[in-house]
Structure 1
């Protein structure tokens, strides 16, 4: 079983340019409750290093690129996000890290729940224990 669940977002448009539509329960496999984006990440800085108890997310680099690492406590996989037409679905109880941000990277994240600090698992040892249950 692969942790990497890529989603293709077909570009729409014409000779004036392209457009990608992200829609709840269509191109995004859940109802979108929260949208945020990460940008201006300094060279050599990694982000993430947590999992969520219930939150599901889709991440897409709308510009630039970054390397995503996903870990379910047993398997660890990585993939480059480097296209505005490709996203990655991050299930609940999947540890995720973002590395190697390009200077121009803007990482857009769509989530199925509002922010809730109690949903975060920020300690990898604790995550491994919970994931093995």
Structure 2
């Protein structure tokens, strides 16, 4: 919100012209864009722990495949939050941390393993990351960056 105030630097100008702004929802929460946020921690954990050798025409396999290939082909990452006791339903990070779920985050032969493998060994073919235009703040101030 700071305009140039005689020191030669404008935070607002820098923000608009030198900061890469991306659509964080699409880039960092692709699974949520498919299955939603409500109770998604348990659902996503169940889908990712689905074995790769189940019937490919089953709903669980199709959903898991859609999510994993969406993440691998068109997103920078899948945010795995903990947010313990901050939300109504536990997040996938919180669930993975429970003793009864030990190893589900790296289960052999699962979609989780495919996601881990793909994130290291596959390369996306998309042309570019979807960027957004950095908006100029509605209100700005003429103050130096270190002024009180």
Structure showing greater radius of gyration is 2
> Normalising by structure 1, what TM-score?
0.26
Which structure: greater strand fraction? Answer: 1
Larger fraction in helix: 2
Higher relative contact order (CA 8 A, sep 6+): 2
Normalising by structure 2, report the TM-score: 0.24
